[in-house]
Amino acid sequence: MVYDWVIDLCSSRSRKHKEQVIEKALIASRLGSTSAEYFLYNCYLCYNPNFKYGIRKIPTTENLVLKENPWIDFWGLCENLRFAVLDRAHMCSAIQSMSQRFDSNQWNYVCARVLVKDLQCGVNRTTFNKVLENTEWRIPGVGEL
């Protein structure tokens, strides 16, 4: 599951450990792991300074399991928030609705943190780019594409 990568990233304060987790995710994604690929894409969304979602408080969920975890729909929501397609009331409703479609761990550890632009695991764009520099997952700086 995607949140397992975030938990692993948070499991140590060591920068070296964090780089190893990111490298392991990169290798796993190259070998066909969708959870690793989804983890890397969510990190890209979270740490890309050119993507702003305008969200400060996200609802958390409890005890939701065996949900569909619709990542593509979540990423569509991110795009809608990024381009301010939804007004404030519809945005809150869309986020609440989406939160009910994910397992609580997936929502609380990944989705909610992506929306507030902080995975809360002691990493930043520089740490990711040290491992991901020459890949499609490289996180651009402000104003870069």
Do the domain assignments include residue 137?
no
Do the domain assignments include residue 19?
yes
User: Residue 6 pLDDT > 70, yes or no?
Assistant: yes
CA angle 20, 26, 29 (to 5 degrees): 140
User: Residue 17 pLDDT > 70, yes or no?
Assistant: yes
Range of the domain at 49: 2-132
Q: How many CA atoms lie within 13 A of 134 on its CB side?
A: 0
Q: What is the predicted pLDDT for the residue at 38?
A: 97
Nearest to 40 by CA among 140, 141, 132, 142: 132
Cβ(109)–Cβ(3) under 8 Å? yes
Number of domains in the chain: 1
Alpha-carbon gap, residue 6 to 128, rounded angstroms: 13
Band (145; pLDDT cuts 50, 70, 90): low
Do the domain assignments include residue 39?
yes
User: Residue 39 pLDDT > 90, yes or no?
Assistant: yes
Do the domain assignments include residue 29?
yes
Residue 14 CB neighbour total at 10 angstroms: 10
DSSP one-letter string for 20-67: HHHHHHHHHHHTT-HHHHHHHHHHHHHH-TT------------S--S-
Nearest to 23 by CA among 3, 53, 45, 43: 43
Q: What is the predicted pLDDT for the residue at 100?
A: 96
Do the domain assignments include residue 62?
yes
The structure's pTM equals 0.91
What does the pLDDT look like over 57-104, one tens digit per residue? 899 999 999 999 999 999 999 998 888 766 777 888 899 999 999 999
